[in-house]
């Protein structure tokens, strides 16, 4: 099993994901889902003839690479967390566990904020993008929404055990804000579905 998502072949990744190995897991899936959303945004931009796409293209290209880095970081943090769970239950373990839980919460938190930064770009791309690729824009929105939901789940599985109330409160506020923003993605998808729906001869 590779420790770096970037170096994994698709078939190997899926085989590892389906195996009993602790990683890759849900964190890697969230990251790859986000990377796929960003990649579709890049594709639509590349096939759209307007200078207005330039900032969207730049942000999406950067996000695509960053998602993969975050997926690798998530796997590493989870491996470290599991190692601490296997330690004897001693006073020193409690502090290490709290630090490891916070470290494990950070990659999905970064994924949440990263996909949030692409939501308005998706809406703009729906307006200016190549109309022949409108379904690809909508699929990117579906994947972005899945990334939001996946990142939130991966954050909360760690947050429920973290004792620092201020830290938990900060991340919960971020979740609420991004989830509210992400409702735009469903609206975009509905708009595309409506435009594609056959009305008959």
- Residues 156-185: pLDDT tens digits? 999 999 999 999 999 999 999 999 999 999
Q: Is the pLDDT confidence value at 1 over 60? A: no
User: What pLDDT is attached to residue 111?
Assistant: 98
Q: Is the pLDDT confidence value at 51 over 70? A: yes
User: What pLDDT is attached to residue 32?
Assistant: 98
By the 8 A CB rule, do 77 and 104 touch?
yes
Q: Is the pLDDT confidence value at 4 over 90? A: no
123-136 per-position pLDDT tens digit: 999 999 999 999 99
Q: Is the pLDDT confidence value at 90 over 90? A: no
Q: Is the pLDDT confidence value at 95 over 80? A: yes
For residue 24, which phi and psi values (nearest 5 degrees)?
Answer: -75, 155
Q: Please tell me the number of Cα atoms within 13 Å of 76 on its side-chain side.
A: 12
Domain 5-192, CATH number (from 3.30.465.10, 1.10.1200.10, 3.30.930.10, 1.20.120.680): 1.20.120.680
Across the range 22-31, mean pLDDT stands at 96
Q: Is the pLDDT confidence value at 200 over 70? A: no
User: What pLDDT is attached to residue 201?
Assistant: 54
Q: Is the pLDDT confidence value at 199 over 80? A: no
Across the range 9-38, mean pLDDT stands at 96
User: What pLDDT is attached to residue 3?
Assistant: 72
Q: Is the pLDDT confidence value at 2 over 70? A: no
Give me the helix-helix angle, 134-159 and 91-128, nearest 10°: 160
Domain residue ranges in the chain: 5-192
């Amino acid at each position: 099993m590779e420790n770096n998502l970037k170096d994994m072949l698709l078939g190997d990744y899926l085989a590892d994901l389906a195996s009993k190995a602790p990683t890759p897991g849900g964190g890697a899936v969230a990251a790859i889902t986000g990377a796929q959303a960003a990649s579709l945004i890049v594709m639509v931009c590349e096939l759209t003839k307007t200078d207005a796409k330039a900032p969207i293209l730049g942000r999406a290209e950067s996000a695509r690479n960053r998602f993969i880095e975050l997926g690798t970081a998530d796997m590493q943090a989870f491996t470290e967390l599991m190692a601490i769970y296997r330690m004897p239950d001693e006073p020193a373990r409690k502090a290490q566990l709290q630090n490891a839980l916070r470290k494990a919460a950070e990659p999905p938190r970064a994924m949440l904020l990263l996909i949030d930064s692409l939501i308005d770009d998706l809406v703009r791309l729906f307006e200016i993008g190549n109309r022949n690729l409108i379904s690809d824009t909508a699929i990117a929105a579906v994947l972005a929404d899945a990334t939001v939901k996946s990142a939130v789940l991966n954050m909360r599985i760690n947050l429920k055990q973290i004792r620092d109330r201020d830290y938990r409160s900060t991340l919960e506020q971020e979740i609420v804000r991004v989830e509210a923003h992400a409702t735009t993605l469903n609206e975009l998808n509905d708009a595309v579905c409506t435009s594609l729906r056959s009305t008959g001869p």
